Amino acid sequence: MDIIKKLEILSEDSQYDLACACGTSKGGQRKKSSDGKWLYPVPLPRGGYSILLKTLLSNACSNDCKYCPLRSDSNIRRCTIKPEETASLFMDYYRKNAIHGVFLSSGVHDTPERTMQLITDTAALIRRNPQARKAFIHLKVIPGCSEAAVEMALKYSNAVSLNIETPGEKHFRGLSSRKDYESDIIRLLKFISRNTGPGTAHPKTKCSTQFIVGASDETDSEIINYTFGIYERLKFKRVYFSAYQQGLGSPDIAGELKFSLSSSEDRLTREHRLYQADFLIRKYAFAKEDMIFSPGGNFSLEKDPKLIWAENHHAFYPVNINTASEENLLRVPGIGPETTLRILKLRKIHWLSNLSEIGLKGKHSVKTAPWIKFN
């Protein structure tokens, strides 16, 4: 198999790992290049997006994760690409200013340690190229590797990620017989946390993780409880959620889906609700007790978590647009961080009297109107 064919296969297979920046807005959608590679938009600090090349180094995998289409017993065409080949491909794109960085991941090729060696060797080749010293490099940490391998990944990367997969060992146990939740995943997440952030050797390295949602019988409340722990104790930058795609995993995983939803649309809605809750945690200062679940422990599929909170706290409303604090304005359905800043800026100039003044019109104003007042 020639290198172009390998890259087509490996880039296609990399789509199943979403633990890198990819939003729901038009500018934030992942897309394919003309030559079949997956390109991921990454929001920049000053606004706008840049692009990451995303690929696996190997789709051969010794693990048996039931949710994964690349698991060891699946019947797919396997291939592995050398670090020199991946680095060369990246530089071709980078010199053309088509991308600003790369996301490298892999199936477990032989052993976790051997796989991490492939990943870090590739990153080292890129980083040592004088033209690419400022390139953005995101590396996936392979469960079960050594702490020394993680340290090497931190040396060459701007960002690292390691999938936590499920909220707790009891949910993980039914998905893999070859990985140990505590020693292969939690141990390394804690190591990454201790060695990144202020006061460490890698203060600027961004760390993220990902849940596979719906492959086991976990509830949304369990996922959110772990999410708070990841932000508060591990100090990770982002948590991602990937809805399990039925039909891609092992046929016997159906027995684990005690809380499975009836359609792919419902499963994606569940994923979306988790992202909405995550946004409330990161941007709206919502606390754990602000998350309201159904008796079964899941979010409503019909209404977003912020609206559910509002409907359960009528005494908090209406919020006065002209006098409310920033924190209270963020509790209003339909008002987000950008609109809140606009309100705070405009009311220093004059008294606000209608929603159109703050940029809310049509369906947006209809959503917000019942929860506010102007005098």
Give the CA radius of gyration of the chain. Answer: 22
pLDDT of residue 236: 97
- Between 15 and 113, whose confidence is greater? 113
CB of 299 within 8 A of CB of 290?
no
Ranked by mean pLDDT, which of 37-51, 119-133, 350-364 comes out on top?
Answer: 119-133
Sequential DSSP letters for 58-83: B-------TT-TTSTTS-----B--H
Residue 245 confidence (pLDDT): 75
Q: How many residues are there in the chain?
A: 375
pTM: 0.88
pLDDT at 218: 94
How much is the average pLDDT of 124-153?
Answer: 96
What the block records as the tokens of 265 is 């649309």
- Per the listing, tokens 């940490």 go with 141
Query: What pLDDT score was predicted for residue 40?
Result: 54
Tell me: pLDDT of 255 over 60.
Answer: no
Confidence of residue 330 (pLDDT cuts 50, 70, 90): very high
Residue 321 contacts residue 329 (beta carbons within 8 Å): yes
**Least confident range of 135-139, 259-263, 270-274:** 259-263
pLDDT at 194: 97
Q: What is the pLDDT of residue 31?
A: 57
Mean pLDDT of 169-189: 94
CATH topology of domain 316-373: DNA polymerase; domain 1 (1.10.150)
Tokens linked to 272: 């979306």
Helix (H), strand (E) at residue 206: strand 206-213
DSSP labels, 143-189:
TT--HHHHHHHHHH-SEEE---BSSSHHHHTTT-SS--IIIIIIHHH
pLDDT value of position 35: 52
Q: Where in the chain is the domain with CATH 3.20.20.70?
A: 3-250
Q: What percent of the chain has pLDDT over 90?
A: 64
Q: What is the mean pLDDT of the chain?
A: 87
What dotted CATH number matches 3-250? 3.20.20.70
Within the chain, all domains assigned CATH 1.10.150 are found at 316-373
Q: Give tens-digit pLDDT for 39-97.
A: 555 554 445 555 778 888 999 999 988 888 888 888 888 989 999 999 998 898 889 88
